[in-house]
Amino acid sequence: MLISELLEEYLLEIDARGQSKTTIKTTKDSIDTFIKFTGDISIFKVNKIIINKYIIDQRTRCKNNTINNRIIYLRGLYKYAVEQELIEKSPFKNVEFLKKPKVMIKTYSPDDIQKILGSLKGRDFLTVRNRTLITLLVETGIRNSELCGIKLEDVYEGSIRILGKGNKIRFVPISKPLRLQLLRYMRVRNKYTLNHPSDYLFVNRLRQPMTRPTLLKAIKDIGKKLGVDVATTIHNFRRYFAQQLLNDVDIYIISRLLGHSHLATTELYIRSIEDTTIVEKGATYSPLSKKK
């Protein structure tokens, strides 16, 4: 069996498990880089020497984090081959991950958020929609794909039903600012979609369900106009949400709201908090500083 043949079967398997289209595409793209390096050889010919040569080659092309992610996808592929008894042992089982530098990730500041929201004061559909989707991102920390997938029936009185990675369902709360903005948006949306009804909460200018590229372009255009760095776009809203909640909320609750399976992932989101802020928090909330 060739690697490409195993990959084709594996993609059908993870699709059947309910993995998102984004995950399936990323899995394919990552494993394709390995096939491009080795050639479409038999799955039995992959060994530690070939894997090491691949890693050495990749280190000249991308960051260690990217290489580690590709190793994870390749491990999944060969784990599947073992489970299906196509091979006895995975050559990726004992491959060590490359060291990852601890990077302090910068996110939006409160001033950036106010600047973005303050620029969206119009009453036309697109302006109100954009202010609503940014308010939703700031107030809930949901992913871009999750935002695009929200249907009208998912919006309840005090929460929104979110379909996350791996088709996992969670609920995020509707704050007072978000409730007010949703009310304003629905009033404008109902008029805009009167003759073109849609089940989805957010629609584009053609009254079709909003897609990820449309969402990213809308945010990038706003950031470019205001001079706000939107290089990491949606994930910066997620990080901002996590960091702001950390002032008053336990990290476990933040992790649940973000839809993370592991606390370690949530910790990455709050890593960019400045050292000065951490020192200030330590002084304010030290055991003897607390009021009795």
Task: Please give the positions annotated as active site.
Answer: 143, 165, 235, 238, 260, 269
- Contact (Cβ atoms closer than 8 angstroms) between residue 272 and residue 105: yes
- Neighbouring residues of 123: CB distance < 8 A, sequence distance ≥ 6: 188
Nearest to 80 by CA among 92, 96, 68, 65: 92
**Dist CA 48 CA 66 (whole Å):** 19
Nearest residue to 14 via CA among 64, 83, 96, 69: 83
Q: Which residue has the tokens 């119009």?
A: 122
List of residues 6+ apart from 190 with CB closer than 8 A: none
Cα 284 to its chain centre, rounded Å, is 33
